[in-house]
Structure 1
Amino acid sequence: MSDLLPLPDGEAPAIPGKHDDEIERLFGAGGPLGPAVGGFRPRKSQTEMAKAIAAAIDSQQTLIAEAGTGTGKTFAYLVPALLWGGKTIISTGTKNLQDQLFLRDIPTVRAALQAPVSVALLKGRGNYLCHYHLERTLQNGRMTSREDVGYLREISRFLKMTSTGDKAELARVPETAPVWNLVTSTRENCVGAECQYYQDCFVMKARREAQQADVVVVNHHLFFADVALKDTGVAELLPSANTIVFDEAHQLPDTATLFFGDTFSTSQVLELCRDVLAEGLAHARDGADWGKTVSVVEKAARDLRLTFPQDVVRLSLPQIAPSSDFFPALDTLREQLAGMLAVLEKQAERAETLEQCHVRGHELQQKLDNWKFDPKAKVAPGEEAVYWVEAYTSSLQLHKTPLSIAPIFNSQREGVPRSWIFTSATLAVKNDFKHFSEQMGLTGEVARTWPSPFNYEQQGILYVPQGLPDPNSLGYTDAVLDAALPVIEAAGGRTFLLCTTLRAVKRAAERLRDEFEKRGLKFPLFVQGDRGRTELLDQFRKAGNGVLIGSQSFWEGVDVRGEALSLVIIDKLPFAPPDDPVLAARIEVMERQGMNGFMHHTLPEAIINLKQGAGRLIRDEGDRGVLMLCDPRVISKPYGRRIWQSLPPFKRTREAAEVIAFFQP
């Protein structure tokens, strides 16, 4: 039987659902899924999870469903959703997973079930080529590099062949190439129904298809951007949706926080200036000295960034010294932006595009005006926010972030009754869902977990080395590498080294390059940042004896089955950086309410993150490997026990010899 948790508010376990027999047949040994999926085997936990989801869909209820690695959660929600879900929105963690669902998983299940459902893929507008902006860029010819010119040629060719305009289809131009910003639209610079290409617009086409489809695949960023901005086409879909499925639901609190807040960025100002100059010269050359109008605003935006000399900064507003140059520079930007808006107001009627620039400028001005914190002002419960600054190499962002997204998300879920399914391999801390459900405002909803079908005790070892120093001490990364090298050698490469900071990634790459050469080890080294994530993973899989060093983006959503990955090393427990202004404010509120911020928030967050990292190791019933967790606090601190108990039940050891013997043929 599935591992049923104590249900919230003393609810009784789910009674048998009306689709149970049908689900037993579909997921059973002679069912239709077997022939459709290579290597498909009936799994009790998958069947039970599918039953629970079908029951939640039937009764228009909410279900929080944690499924251990290898349960097959994608099929467990797809089968009931395609058969009984009505109009369904499936939201997943990344665009890569979105493509995988749309191109591979849904077609497989749909064919196996012979379900007559139509499916559409919807991404944010920045993923679709824009006819208008491409034409404008070709005319302006303002290309900065030879590479961009080549990319632009590829994009022009792509326009003639594509039916979707989705940039993911054009592999020859990297997704991160700056030229994409010039040939896609943003909410602010889209000309809308006035555009001469409106009938052919790829964004509008994708939205029309989504409107008509039975199943629409989106990603979390898109879902929440829409709830906040009403710009991504999801707003039109939500009212008619019967079922909403969030896959990789553990990412929702962070994603929702991002969008329910407000951000003003100096790069938005510089983009506006670029467009004002182009449109002013094109449509109202005699109306103003456009070069001068724009350059004072650009200078003010750059000066604001320069008030923080460091490369990367995260500070809450109260942490910025009152004597800082930041405050006068902010006032200057306000004044100069207002000056440019006054010019635009006079010229706006001369062209639709100038009117648009005026509207964008006004929205930016509004954000800037809202970004002020009065500690004496009374704030309604649920509306508390953190004001903070984040500086990157070339831009400065001013954020206003809600302290809790629960009230906002709850108001989104009110109204039309429908089923909400939240699923992931990591939602609970030692079988307790409280941390996730409180963040999302889902207290009192049914939460269930289904264990992984893997035999962790037979398939792997959890190894915590002895004698490591305190993780905050100076030479910590080198001490980790000293302990790791003999194990990497015994494993024959085939290693993921997951670090909690980019600094550790850099140090580990330098040191391992050096050590491999010294010891004559022919393990290819793959380092995050050297190439795109997908390319690094492909090369790692092909190599068969590689060592990949990565930080946060490799802790989750990465699937390497078989022998290519047999050792996962985690350098430290992934606690959020203590200088995170939003985290600090949340903890302060908890402590005021008499709770322990570390035990209630910081620790559960780190455990969920750690479970994701640990989940990279065993991806299949035939996989074997070692999870090497280097942080001595797992043993030395009282909270270490909670961490142990949340990880898969591997055999455990502190002896290096036992680990090295595990890798011997």
Structure 2
Amino acid sequence: MKRKPKRYLIVDLETTGNQAARDDRIIQFAAVLVEDKQIVQRFSTFINPLKAIPPFIRELTGIEAKDVADAPLFEDVADTIYALLEGTIFVAHNVQFDWTFLQKEMRRVGLTPPRIPLLDTVELARILYPEVDSYKLQDLGDEFELQHDNPHQADSDAEVTALLFIQLLEKIERLPLALIEKLVAVSAPLKNHLPTLFFEMEMKKTQLKEALSDDLILHRGLVIRKKVLPPHRSQSNEKTAGFPKEESGKLALFERAGAPLRARSGQFEMMNVVNQAMHEKKHALIEAGTGIGKSLGYFLPAVYFAKESSGPVVISTYTNVLQTQLFEKDVPLARILSGFDVKAELLKGRDHYLNLFKFEQLLSETDTQYDVVVTKLKLLVWLSETETGDIDEVNLSSGGALFWNRLKHTGWYLSEEQDPWLEHDFYRFSLLKAKRADLLIVNHALLLADHFNERKILPDYSVAVIDEAHHFAESAREKKSFILSYRKVKYFLNQLGSLDKYSLLSRLAFVFPNEDNVFDLSIAQVNLSEAVENFFAELHSLLSKTRKADTKLILIQNREQVHFTESLSYAADNVAILFREVERHLTKLLEKAKHEAPLKEAESAFIEEVYSFLLDWKKMTREFDLLQDESDEMMTITLESDKNHHVASLKLIGSYMTPEEVLRNQFFSKKESVILTSATLTVNGSFAYLKNELGLTDEDLIEAQIPSPFHYNDQARILIPNDMPQIKGTPVQEYTKVLADYLTDMLQITAGKMLILFTSNEMLRLTNSYLKGRDELAEFMILAQGISSGSVNRLTKQFRQFDKAVLLGTTSFWEGIDIPGEALSCLVIVRLPFAPPDDPYTKAQIELHKMRGENAFQAFSLPQAVLRFKQGFGRLIRRETDRGLVVVFDNRVDTTVFGQTFLNSIPPVPEIKGNKPLLLEEMQDFFWQ
């Protein structure tokens, strides 16, 4: 007998607001019926809500009053909707929202909502596609290339959700049976149709008796991908006569790649400098202008050097994203050009990798917390797909990120041989690959941690390339700095827990039932909880005595106690003592577990979890010690809160002030050759500022400035208005109104395609508001960081997609984003990017430079702002065919002595200064010439 197909009704609603419990009403209903993974029926209707549609809903959905004026009331279509629902499984993207609204409306018109199962495509997508960046419907539509004609209109959203749901069903069908069995067991606590969906698939696959594919293995009930180690470096038979110094030799390498790769003279110059530094055992600073192709400029000589030497060349960049980009884009290119079998590996710190032993044991824990259950499910799917075990591949929720603390790798406390997953361990596998690599690609944080920490991760190496080197000193400072928040401390205290609740402490009591250290630990935990509350109460009291608007207070500036009172010092000392006491008892229990007690597997995994907890605890202990540390290390410690001074928002930020000393003594002095490169290393043509920041001396140092190959004289102009009010002394609302007037007129000429860079969130917010109120800009897509939804990547992608778009951004848009071509033709710099003088770190640095007898503005504030300005300027011209204008509204660039430093530090570009009519005419001529 043929089974009756499941009927899934995919529903989407548009409403007057998001509060079903209040008076918000449905304005559009759409449903798509799916059977056997086919769309068999569609239904859509506007609904008259008998109330006004709020402006933000009109803007979001495009639904106007005229669309619903003659539409039926909900009671007119209620029976039709009810008939559609009967006998179906109700599916929606964020199902609780749609189902709650429908239930409310049905009850309002006298209908009892049917009892039908619910499925959420957000939840399913999170589980089945763990690596996707965003689970918003529009983003998933883009990700899977699903046609989405009218986002935020119910008929279009329901159609896309239906197509997405069909894809999700197909993904479930592709999962191996052993994985489905695990998903069934782990999903049991969920209160929707998902456990049933997984169970039905398990029954279907059991009958089919599907075999596991060759690229997967089943170990102790978990499905994981097979791993294959590359051969040792010593096994390579490749010989090299060295990197070709002559241009003809380099051109021959480029001929291997063919079009569209093109050799560039600046790139060849950079290759020669890198090759020279490595062979002469010197450090090098190389400023490589935009368009040089600096990645290949160091990759190719690094490959040759690695093949000649016994150790790898380490290549470090600022972020994980850039790290991955180098690995996926530049390594394959280096293989083609060099002709070598280049062995390159991407390595991250231990806690980026999943500990399979811990994960296996935690799967058996019955946990009803929703985020934990979903995280377990998505990690099970991810395990069948990942080759690295690197959690950066996974989009974790905030609750999932907390759960990750229990799963992350921290090495082995017990012997490695006691780990039944050792052969498949991701962290161990990454280290084995690293030892066999020619090129090892890391980020600055890992590179520096390897030098500052006692536990080494990287294999021995003597040569390194530091890309994005303008961030290297900052990365060193961050590595030696800390953040101690109330929430963080409370989280770890709750993890430690008490004897009467399921926690680390109660589980330790179960493993060691008669151990005094457990009871001493319990007493210390109680005392510490009280001491922590007292400590943060002291901090809160201190902050509450300041002006209500103040959310930052410097407690210690450059080792000098500024606002560190006697009572606060006593409270901090008490917390530090108890932190050390907890650490001592945990250490004794771990030692007992290691040397005395025979442990079962589950207990061994638990001991590894306790060890991981202890490492984090030790780090916090050191941070509390730093509050009263009298060492020579220069620190500034600031208290911060939200605007309401809530205790829960309090955090202490410890900023390390002198990274140049530790870099000089612990890094540069220990390496034969370190090449530092970026597009922004010089100020006014000099490397002096960066050398001071990094602790570099002129001895054995090569300096090279390689200009961009772009023809800025033809491709760009700098416009400087001279009729703007002074920023200083002009109320921000008045200034931004004039700014918005200027921008509105400019946008008429540029037709959008404008990126506006701010240094102030308030100014960005006001400008966005003014621009959105202009009738002339009704057809423009105005995107604003922190206001428009989406990440930096998402906003940048949207900016590229729309013809008439303007993007307002702050900090993260000054560098790193790449918008080549006609999508960006006008860059606006509202204010020269000086750090706010009231920023605690900036304040402390200025005082530190004064203490040294230096001019703080010339030695710190100005060069820092110039480098940021250069980064911002670099957003405009990304290719040889790009053309565009830079508008600098801060007239200090023209009216002050220091302003010329900004202009001298960028490529030579024609400058036009004048009033609005003149500049608008220049813009018109530039774009239409």
1:179 matches 2:400: yes
Report the identity percentage. 27
- In the other structure, the counterpart of 1:6 is none
1:406 matches 2:660: yes
- In the other structure, the counterpart of 2:710 is 454
- In the other structure, the counterpart of 1:333 is 575
Identify the match of residue 325 of structure 2 among 100, 121, 136.
100
What is the CA deviation profile of residues 14-33 of structure 1, one whole-angstrom value per residue up to 9, with x for unaligned ones?
xxxx96855513543xx343
RMSD of Structure 2 on Structure 1 (CA): 3.2
- Paired residues for 1:166-315 under 5 Å: 166-170=390-394, 173=395, 177-183=398-404, 193=416, 195-231=419-455, 233-234=457-458, 237=459, 240-261=460-481, 264-277=484-497, 278-284=503-509, 287-288=518-519, 295-296=529-530, 299-300=533-534, 303=537, 306-307=540-541, 308=543, 312-313=551-552, 315=554
What is the CA deviation profile of residues 424-443 of structure 1, one whole-angstrom value per residue up to 9, with x for unaligned ones?
00100121100001111212
1:468 matches 2:724: yes
- In the other structure, the counterpart of 2:69 is none
Identify the match of residue 131 of structure 1 among 348, 351, 356.
356
1:500 matches 2:759: yes
- Paired residues for 1:508-547 under 5 Å: 508-515=767-774, 519-528=777-786, 530-547=789-806
Using the TM superposition, give the Cα deviation of residue 590 of structure 1 relative to its aligned residue in structure 2, in angstroms.
Answer: 2.8
Using the TM superposition, give the Cα deviation of residue 331 of structure 1 relative to its aligned residue in structure 2, in angstroms.
Answer: 4.6
What is the CA deviation profile of residues 534-576 of structure 1, one whole-angstrom value per residue up to 9, with x for unaligned ones?
2222222233432222211111111111111111111111112
What is the CA deviation profile of residues 251-305 of structure 1, one whole-angstrom value per residue up to 9, with x for unaligned ones?
1111111113455454543343233222212230565468956754664576466
- In the other structure, the counterpart of 2:925 is 661
Query: Are the equivalent residues in 1 in contact too, given 2:554–2:563 (CA < 8 A)?
Result: no
Of 478-487 and 45-54, deviating more is: 478-487
Query: Are the equivalent residues in 2 in contact too, given 1:264–1:399 (CA < 8 A)?
Result: yes
1:426 matches 2:680: yes
Q: Matches of 1:417 and 1:323 in 2, distance apart?
A: 44
Query: Are the equivalent residues in 2 in contact too, given 1:569–1:630 (CA < 8 A)?
Result: yes
Of 535-544 and 557-566, deviating more is: 535-544
Q: Matches of 2:773 and 2:452 in 1, distance apart?
A: 49
1:387 matches 2:636: yes
- Secondary structure in 1 aligned to 2:869? helix
Unaligned runs of 5+ in 2: 1-240, 498-502, 594-606, 643-647, 914-918
What is the CA deviation profile of residues 208-262 of structure 1, one whole-angstrom value per residue up to 9, with x for unaligned ones?
211221110001111112222245623xx2xx32420001101111111111345
- In the other structure, the counterpart of 1:12 is none
- Secondary structure in 1 aligned to 2:928? coil
1:632 matches 2:891: yes
- In the other structure, the counterpart of 1:67 is 288
Using the TM superposition, give the Cα deviation of residue 196 of structure 1 relative to its aligned residue in structure 2, in angstroms.
Answer: 4.8
Who wins on radius of gyration, i.e. which is larger?
A: 2
The 1:416–1:647 alpha-carbon spacing in structure 2 relative to 1, beyond 3 Å, is: closer
Of 612-621 and 342-351, deviating more is: 342-351
Query: Are the equivalent residues in 2 in contact too, given 1:314–1:580 (CA < 8 A)?
Result: no
The 1:491–1:409 alpha-carbon spacing in structure 2 relative to 1, beyond 3 Å, is: same
Give the aligned residue type for 2:477: T
State the number of aligned residues. 630
The 1:19–1:211 alpha-carbon spacing in structure 2 relative to 1, beyond 3 Å, is: closer
Identify which of structures 1 and 2 has the higher relative contact order when contacts are C-alpha pairs closer than 8 Å and 6+ apart: 1
Of 466-475 and 434-443, deviating more is: 466-475
Q: Matches of 1:571 and 1:208 in 2, distance apart?
A: 50
The 1:297–1:417 alpha-carbon spacing in structure 2 relative to 1, beyond 3 Å, is: closer
Q: Matches of 1:242 and 1:23 in 2, distance apart?
A: 26
The 1:614–1:355 alpha-carbon spacing in structure 2 relative to 1, beyond 3 Å, is: closer
- In the other structure, the counterpart of 2:383 is 159
Of 523-532 and 69-78, deviating more is: 523-532
Using the TM superposition, give the Cα deviation of residue 340 of structure 1 relative to its aligned residue in structure 2, in angstroms.
Answer: 4.7
- Secondary structure in 2 aligned to 1:101? helix
Q: Matches of 2:649 and 2:455 in 1, distance apart?
A: 24
- Secondary structure in 2 aligned to 1:423? strand
What is the CA deviation profile of residues 19-76 of structure 1, one whole-angstrom value per residue up to 9, with x for unaligned ones?
6855513543xx3435636533332111111111111111111111001111111111
Q: Matches of 1:570 and 1:143 in 2, distance apart?
A: 50
What is the CA deviation profile of residues 595-642 of structure 1, one whole-angstrom value per residue up to 9, with x for unaligned ones?
211012110111011000100000000001111111111112111111
- Paired residues for 1:570-585 under 5 Å: 570-585=829-844
Q: Matches of 1:350 and 1:311 in 2, distance apart?
A: 49
Q: Matches of 1:524 and 1:417 in 2, distance apart?
A: 49
The 1:358–1:335 alpha-carbon spacing in structure 2 relative to 1, beyond 3 Å, is: same
Give the aligned residue type for 2:263: P
Q: Matches of 1:416 and 1:330 in 2, distance apart?
A: 37
Give the aligned residue type for 1:443: T
- In the other structure, the counterpart of 1:587 is 846
Q: Matches of 1:190 and 1:485 in 2, distance apart?
A: 61
Identify the match of residue 644 of structure 1 among 903, 906, 911.
903
What is the CA deviation profile of residues 336-372 of structure 1, one whole-angstrom value per residue up to 9, with x for unaligned ones?
5466557657755665355665565455334323322
- In the other structure, the counterpart of 1:478 is 737
Q: Matches of 2:755 and 2:368 in 1, distance apart?
A: 39
Give the aligned residue type for 1:433: F
Q: Matches of 1:621 and 1:300 in 2, distance apart?
A: 61
Give the aligned residue type for 1:451: P
- In the other structure, the counterpart of 2:807 is 548
Using the TM superposition, give the Cα deviation of residue 134 of structure 1 relative to its aligned residue in structure 2, in angstroms.
Answer: 3.7
Q: Matches of 2:833 and 2:505 in 1, distance apart?
A: 50
Using the TM superposition, give the Cα deviation of residue 313 of structure 1 relative to its aligned residue in structure 2, in angstroms.
Answer: 2.4
- Secondary structure in 2 aligned to 1:409? helix
Query: Are the equivalent residues in 2 in contact too, given 1:348–1:358 (CA < 8 A)?
Result: no
Identify the match of residue 24 of structure 1 among 238, 247, 254.
247
Give the aligned residue type for 2:634: A
1:441 matches 2:719: no
Tell me the TM-score normalized by structure 1. 0.85
1:89 matches 2:331: no
Unaligned runs of 5+ in 1: 1-17
Query: Are the equivalent residues in 2 in contact too, given 1:270–1:301 (CA < 8 A)?
Result: no
1:109 matches 2:358: no
Using the TM superposition, give the Cα deviation of residue 101 of structure 1 relative to its aligned residue in structure 2, in angstroms.
Answer: 0.4
Using the TM superposition, give the Cα deviation of residue 123 of structure 1 relative to its aligned residue in structure 2, in angstroms.
Answer: 1.8
Of 351-360 and 276-285, deviating more is: 351-360
Tell me the TM-score normalized by structure 2. 0.62
Q: Matches of 1:433 and 1:570 in 2, distance apart?
A: 24
- Secondary structure in 2 aligned to 1:663? helix
Query: Are the equivalent residues in 2 in contact too, given 1:130–1:183 (CA < 8 A)?
Result: no
The 1:495–1:167 alpha-carbon spacing in structure 2 relative to 1, beyond 3 Å, is: farther
Q: Matches of 1:315 and 1:453 in 2, distance apart?
A: 46
The 1:457–1:586 alpha-carbon spacing in structure 2 relative to 1, beyond 3 Å, is: same
